Structure 1
Amino acid sequence: MNTDQALALHESSIIFDGLVIAKWNRDLFEDMAKGGLTAANCTVSVWEGFKDTIDNITEFNQFFCDNSDLIMPVHTTADIAKAKEQGKTGIILGFQNANAFEDKIGYVEIFKKLGVGIVQMAYNTQNLVGTGCYERDGGLSGFGLEIVAEMNRVGIMCDLSHVGPKTSEEVILASTKPVCYSHCLPFGLKEHPRNKKDEELRFIAEHGGFIGVTMFAPFLKNGIDSTVDDYVEAIDYVVNIAGEDCVGIGTDFTQGHDQAFFDMLTHDKGYARNLTNFGTIINPEGIRTLGEFPNLTATMLKHGWSESKIKKIMGENWVRVLKDVWGE
């Protein structure tokens, strides 16, 4: 493999990360630039309700002002192209839980106008919309059906990464727009409640949906001993099931966070019953930080991937499906 070839390919490609939940600060934005990241779905709500989520978006609005040389807001796929042209990282605001909608369908459009482009229907447990992947799945609620329809109408993508299989299936069938697993891994490589079975991956693909593959080490086959090669193997596993046109990257980078952050994630509503224990958190060797993103492109080349396949998986597929959902 030619190192110059890999770098040139990376620099010429749209590099899109379907899920980043890092510690937001200038150091992080500088590392995004170092990694050549064109755009990313950045989490601003997990367990928060409406007001606290608004506060998080207000904070991010200040980040846009203070770091305008590095990042810019994304509302349309044209904004992603603009970010690439300007050498900045485009930020899509995203939720990992529909909690912030509370019981008000009207909040969906409000958040869309504030730049929210992707919302996960539930995070690990039950909410008003449906059920997460860590408890018995009762499926999509009547309110949830209306939320899906409203997200379709205003152009917010439904994300099912942490959602239970029954609720996921019902969202896939109810949605008139493509839905996604923004960050998941195959159950076929490691049995874990967060990983998706082959039939689930096939089902979402057959219904026009999208799959972003994560590299979160506890869910990878070799755990914390994983490397960037293991990550590429996992992506290829999904591609072999779903096809190379509906698969992309969704790293789930948690860069910069401390143990208290992971404790918040693994407890229901951030503080209540313990749902799971991740153990040691360390990203795969070769892509420990966002700044090492070019190593992923190089590893794909090393594994014999064509340049067209790499460009699709690294970002072109995400842009196409988001245009379908957002309408622009």
Structure 2
Amino acid sequence: MTGHSAQLRTAHEGAAIVERVLTAMPVIDGHNDLPTALRARAGYRVDGLDRHRPELHTDIPRLRAGRVGGQFWSVYVPSNLPEPEAVVATLEQIDAVYRLAAAYPDTFAVACTAAEVERVIRGGRIASLIGVEGGHSLAGSLGVLRSYARLGVRYVTLTHNDNTAWADSATDEPSVGGLSDAGRAIVAELNRLGILVDLSHVAASTQRDALAVATAPVIFSHSSTRAINDHPRNVGDDELRLLKVNGGVLQLTFVPAFISAEVAAWTAEAGAERQRLGLPAVPWTWPRAPRPGESGADLAAEQAAAARAVPVEEGFARWLAANPRPEVSLAQVADHVEHARELVGVAHLGLGGDYDGVDWLPAELADVSGYPRLLGELAGRGWNSAELEALTGRNILRVLRDAEDVAEAPLWPALG
């Protein structure tokens, strides 16, 4: 147990604390890829989410079980798409968020400001915020960025897995050495508009450059800590200290390869084996959207048939049988949360699960119903109610307010 903690609590005591916390401050999660999953698995149909959907990590019953009160929906498109095509696909993703909210008005409401998020939560609904995952979706255009702002986008991740012309990614070869002058101008415009700068996915050099010029708090929407697992998608201690000075928030994620060095090594070995067998590194391609006049149901049926037609990769299946995937425990996830807390304090922490953005997650956090279990683990380690409320939502609400205060020309839509 770390030095900040009070005495260990029983499971019953921890459960009582978690219930009080989630009643006072439900989870506001930083990153969920449901819009992409709906494109890939349902032809962008949003019907049926009011019942259990085992092929997804996310549905309304499990969001309610997980006590989610606010969700940043990621409007992800691949960073290897041509940028004009990425803009079109991003708009389709944003449309999916609005259709989701329209289909379930008693459950979801699109929100842009901290005050709107709080109002939606008080009304018993889930505040739906929008995050653009990757600067390639801007196509180098501040006009595109301002258009996203008018549609309610509340953060932009500066890169995804590939560099942009103006920012280096954590998982690509260095190109501009962090942020270029154009990248600094984009950060300045994000601050001017009140849109959060998201530094998940970006290189440490880009993180430092953005933190040096940002005039509002930044976020990491779904990253964990390099001190616990030295993965390029995680955040180093030096950068976390800069984040504290900036006033921003690290929204810790549950992605197994980011949590566990053992899983990261296994993932690298699996990738090497796929390469040896001549298989694609990732057995997934960006699915098309429905064409005008085509029903989502027809496209979903086509997608399902295509998935069934993929031949079994027998050689890789044999490798998997001989090399079973390591599992990740709830305690390992909590260790990342605790390290960040010890380093920068509870005021700079949040949660960003990355549900429906990865194939699998730790067994006790396998879907969006799992947040109370993580909070129970932390309560058992001595976290009190105020600390847990800061983690679940109060910190990200403060960051939203601070960004709104800095903004010179907010373009948020008028929402009902």
Q: Which residue of 2 aligns with 1:145?
A: 184
1:246 and 1:317 in contact (8 A); partners too = yes
Cα distance in 2, alignment partners of residues 34 and 83 from structure 1 = 18
Secondary structure in 2 aligned to 1:251?
A: coil
Secondary structure in 2 aligned to 1:286?
A: helix
1:182 and 1:211 in contact (8 A); partners too = yes
Q: Which residue of 1 aligns with 2:413?
A: none
Q: Which residue of 1 aligns with 2:401?
A: 323
Q: Which residue of 2 aligns with 1:101?
A: 138
Following superposition, the deviation at residue 310 of structure 1 comes to 0.6
Cα distance in 1, alignment partners of residues 404 and 203 from structure 2 = 25
Q: Which amino acid aligns with 1:129?
A: W
- Structure 1 residue 20 corresponds to structure 2 residue 59: no
Query: What TM-score, normalized by structure 2, do the two folds share?
Result: 0.69
Once the two structures are superposed, residues 173-200 of structure 1 have per-residue CA deviations (whole angstroms, 9 ceiling, x without a partner) of 1111111212111111112111222112
Cα distance in 2, alignment partners of residues 13 and 286 from structure 1 = 21
1:118 and 1:156 in contact (8 A); partners too = yes
Compared CA separation, residues 241 and 114, structure 1 to 2 (3 A): same
Secondary structure in 2 aligned to 1:233?
A: helix
Name which of 307, 310, 318 aligns with 2:385: 307
Cα distance in 2, alignment partners of residues 4 and 209 from structure 1 = 29
What residue ranges of structure 2 are gaps of 5+ in the alignment? 1-9, 39-45, 79-84, 264-325, 408-416
- Structure 1 residue 41 corresponds to structure 2 residue 143: no
Cα distance in 2, alignment partners of residues 188 and 46 from structure 1 = 30
Cα distance in 2, alignment partners of residues 154 and 9 from structure 1 = 32
Cα distance in 2, alignment partners of residues 68 and 29 from structure 1 = 15
Structure with more contact order per residue of length (Cα contacts < 8 Å, sep ≥ 6): 2
Once the two structures are superposed, residues 261-320 of structure 1 have per-residue CA deviations (whole angstroms, 9 ceiling, x without a partner) of x6xxxxxxxxxxxxxxxxxx4312322110222212222211111111111011111100
Secondary structure in 2 aligned to 1:291?
A: coil
2:222 and 2:250 in contact (8 A); partners too = yes
2:65 and 2:369 in contact (8 A); partners too = yes
What residue ranges of structure 1 are gaps of 5+ in the alignment? 256-261, 263-280
Compared CA separation, residues 159 and 5, structure 1 to 2 (3 A): closer
Cα distance in 2, alignment partners of residues 108 and 295 from structure 1 = 38
Cα distance in 2, alignment partners of residues 59 and 84 from structure 1 = 21
Q: Which amino acid aligns with 2:212?
A: L
Q: Which residue of 2 aligns with 1:165?
A: 204
Q: Which amino acid aligns with 1:36?
A: R
Secondary structure in 1 aligned to 2:215?
A: coil
**Which structure is larger by alpha-carbon Rg, 1 or 2?**
2
Name which of 97, 104, 113 aligns with 2:150: 113
Q: Which amino acid aligns with 1:230?
A: Q
Cα distance in 1, alignment partners of residues 119 and 27 from structure 2 = 13
Secondary structure in 1 aligned to 2:370?
A: helix
Secondary structure in 1 aligned to 2:130?
A: strand
Q: Which amino acid aligns with 1:146?
A: A
Once the two structures are superposed, residues 188-215 of structure 1 have per-residue CA deviations (whole angstroms, 9 ceiling, x without a partner) of 1112111222112112222322211111
- Structure 1 residue 228 corresponds to structure 2 residue 330: yes
Name which of 263, 266, 282 aligns with 2:360: 282
Once the two structures are superposed, residues 71-101 of structure 1 have per-residue CA deviations (whole angstroms, 9 ceiling, x without a partner) of 1101111121122112211111101101121
Q: Which residue of 2 aligns with 1:134?
A: 171
Q: Which amino acid aligns with 2:142?
A: I
Identity score, percent: 23
Cα distance in 1, alignment partners of residues 93 and 221 from structure 2 = 21
Cα distance in 2, alignment partners of residues 293 and 18 from structure 1 = 13
Q: Which residue of 2 aligns with 1:211?
A: 250
Cα distance in 1, alignment partners of residues 244 and 161 from structure 2 = 22
Compared CA separation, residues 145 and 85, structure 1 to 2 (3 A): same
Number of residues of Structure 1 aligned to a counterpart in Structure 2: 304
1:29 and 1:71 in contact (8 A); partners too = no
1:124 and 1:131 in contact (8 A); partners too = no
Name which of 94, 106, 125 aligns with 2:162: 125
Alignment RMSD (CA, Å): 1.8
Q: Which residue of 2 aligns with 1:70?
A: 107
2:224 and 2:259 in contact (8 A); partners too = yes
Cα distance in 2, alignment partners of residues 122 and 12 from structure 1 = 34
List aligned pairs for 1:226-265, cutoff 5 A. Answer: 226-254=328-356
2:73 and 2:97 in contact (8 A); partners too = no
Following superposition, the deviation at residue 34 of structure 1 comes to 2.2
2:22 and 2:67 in contact (8 A); partners too = yes
Q: Which residue of 2 aligns with 1:80?
A: 117
Once the two structures are superposed, residues 6-60 of structure 1 have per-residue CA deviations (whole angstroms, 9 ceiling, x without a partner) of 3233222231111112335425341212211011111113336222211221222
Cα distance in 1, alignment partners of residues 20 and 347 from structure 2 = 22
